Amino acid sequence: MGFHIVVCAGIVPDPLQTLEPATGPNGPGIKTEMVLPAVLDPWAASALYEAANLAGKNPGSKVWLVSLGPKAKLQQVMMSVAQKVSFELVPIDGPIGGFPDAQATAAALAETIGAIPGLERARLMLFGGWESATRGAGVTLQLVGERLGIADQFQGVDAIEVREDGSFEVLERVEGGKHQVSVCTGVPAVLGWATGNLAEPRNNPQVGMANMRTIMPALQKAKMVTLDANGLQYVSVSLPKQQRATRVEKNMSADEIAAELVAWMGAE
């Protein structure tokens, strides 16, 4: 039978990029965000690879990737992601970044997912990143799941193991660096992924070519959304300065350094 796995993934600036806030007509944003190289949100990308892995192990499964962002940036990101695993892209042409209201974003995602032709709720695994590298709230995927009426939700997931009878075991990150182990009787379910345990899949040109056949037409047809501010106001957006007066010690012996460190550690 297989699963219908819908992965929600946003796009974020490539990890080492320098970020500076800037205020535009639609509210705060990142300076030159449209110019900065973008990648798929890291934990959402993990969710996508886990989805592909799960689909591979369960014949009859299908993977959709739902992503909200400016069409041009989505296209750029697809040039990297599309070579990794097979999926059908469901793009939404919308604003970039973590400042738009999560509730509005979730509403747009849920509406789009509900309209995916052929999607069966009874087979649905809703995947996504637990917290994005932009808003970092852990809210959007949860709300999408709630809107779709899914009452078995797991967050901070690192592993899923599906059993013969369709039930599955999930590991979620909890306090203290350990995982909570839960067992669910079956789909539908929501999994907000952390890093998971899979290595990033290799770039495969054949996968890319096959994906592109559906991705380009989907991008061309992507419907545009404006996100309601929903009463959210930004009082201030700033880059906190954290400059300390660093004391650089070049001439202390290892013994002296060790003694100083131990004293510092013991002090209140």
- Strand segments, DSSP code E, in 25-177 are 27-30, 38-40, 62-69, 88-93, 124-129, 153-162, 168-174
Residue closer to other proteins by CB (options 94, 145) is: 145
32-91 positions binding other proteins, by CB under 8 A: 32, 34-37, 42-43, 53, 72, 75-76, 79-80, 83
- For position 195 contacting other proteins by CB under 8 A, the verdict is yes
CB closer to other proteins, 94 vs 188:
188
Subset of residues 100 to 159 that bind other proteins, contact rule: CB under 8 A: 101-103, 133-139, 142-143, 145-147, 151-156
Q: How many residues bind other proteins (CB under 8 A)?
A: 113
Shortest Cβ 10–other proteins spacing (Å): 12
Sole window of 2-10, 61-69, 85-93, 205-213 interacting with other proteins (rule: CB under 8 A):
205-213
Q: Are 211 and 87 in contact (CB under 8 A)?
A: yes
Pairing mode, strands 88-93 and 223-224? parallel
**Which residues fall within 8 angstroms of residue 240, CB to CB, at 6 or more apart?**
none
In this structure, is the dihedral angle defined by the CA atoms of residues 12, 17, 21 and 22, taken in order, positive or negative? negative
Segment interacting with other proteins (CB under 8 A) among 1-9, 58-66, 85-93, 193-201: 193-201
> What is the distance between the alpha carbons of residues 222 and 216, in angstroms, rounded to a whole number?
10
